[in-house]
Amino acid sequence: NAIKEAQIFLEKDPGNWAMHLALSEIYEKTGDESEHHEEIRKTQELLKKNIDAGARNPQEYFLLCQIYKKQRKIDDDISVIESMKLIPLDKETMRDTHFLLANLYYEAQKFDRVEDELQMTLKLDPEFHEANNFLGYLFVENNKNLDEAIQLISKALKVQPKNGAYLDSLGWAYYKK
């Protein structure tokens, strides 16, 4: 019934990416991989079209990024989120955009861009513990700014004192120093 209802809805509004996504999830639950992938393809196509036309809905950018991530299309991922920086965003969404880009650039091994994006993240939210730890860890990995790295990681640990990743980063920083 859910499939029939979604198809009826899409006959009236074929450009509704949210309904294509919902239908893809229904097909996934029923085990119909072929239809699942087809609906993901349609969702991706509609989101890309919207973004290319200058969509202002951050959710569309984040969702297309997730689709590309599952497809391991890191350069497309980066392109989508870079274009997202050009639309009006609230401070928290802009922070999250820069942090996501830092992670994508790290995955793509574009380390100079990682630092830039983390610096922008922390400029928007100096208390963002994930970014403090990530930048501190990046410094440690590159054997630079070790004192600053220790300060950044310690700041993250003040927020989450039992976080194993943060403790590991701090230990690694002291070892490198």
Residue 9 confidence (pLDDT)? 92
Give me the helices (H) in the chain, please. 2-12, 17-30, 33-52, 58-70, 74-84, 91-107, 111-124, 129-141, 146-159, 164-176
Cα–Cα dist 118/106, whole Å: 11
3 state DSSP class of 159: helix
What pLDDT is recorded for position 79?
95
Q: Quick one: CA dihedral 45, 48, 53, 55, positive or negative?
A: positive
Q: Which residues contact 167 (CB under 8 A, 6 or more apart)?
A: 157
CA dist., res. 79 & res. 73, Å (int) = 10
Of 47, 41, 38, the closest CA to residue 16 belongs to 47
Global pTM value = 0.87
The tens digit of pLDDT for each residue in 49-92 reads 999 999 999 999 999 999 999 999 999 999 999 999 999 999 99
Query: What's the average model confidence in pLDDT over 96-113?
Result: 95
21-41 pLDDT per residue, tens: 999 999 999 999 999 999 999
Residue linked to tokens 């890309």: 48
